[in-house]
Copies of this chain bind each other. A is one copy, B any other.
Amino acid sequence: MKTEELLKTDHLIDTKKLVINIMLCAGKATTMMNEALKPYEISMQQFNVLRILRGQKGKPANLSTIQDRMVNKMSNTTRLVDKLIKKNLVDRCICEENRRKVEIVITGEGLNLLKTLDPIVDQLEENFSQHINKKELIQLNETLEKLRN
């Protein structure tokens, strides 16, 4: 094999490793998250929707806004919100300015649940990155952000 080809092969191995590493890390984070949330009978996705709504600071969000901000864009956000409504964690009403749209807000109960979950999730996130130091953490975020482009 020519040197050039060797370099190419070598690079390919590293990119393959990268994809696997990313997947494994994401899998680990997801598992940790779901296990932590399980006692509260809430899925990671539901939790994320609640956080998005809290981020609105009282301002209602419509379905497409939520969908845009979700990590795993899935088609049936309607039903995800349905479940949160059933648990009394969010409210929904039709938007009066544009009656096609729907306005979703987090309830007091939803905010309380988040308040309970916050320290648990914070701790979990700290644990997740416990094996790397501050410098590596910052560097890692920078590089990962480049990958997202």
- A residues near B, CB below 8 A? 11-12, 14-30, 33, 71-73, 122, 125-126, 128-129, 131-132, 134, 136-141, 143-149
Contact = CB atoms under 8 A, between A and B. Distances in A.
A126 B11 CA distance: 8
A26 B23 contact: yes
A27 B125 contact: no
A10 to B, nearest CB: 9
A132 B126 contact: no
Given A27-B71, A28-B148, A29-B22, A12 B126 contact: yes
A148 B21 contact: yes
A128 B71 contact: no
B147 A15 contact: no
Ranked 3 nearest A-B pairs via Cβ: A26-B26, A21-B144, A15-B125
Contact of A139 (B11, B24, B139): B139
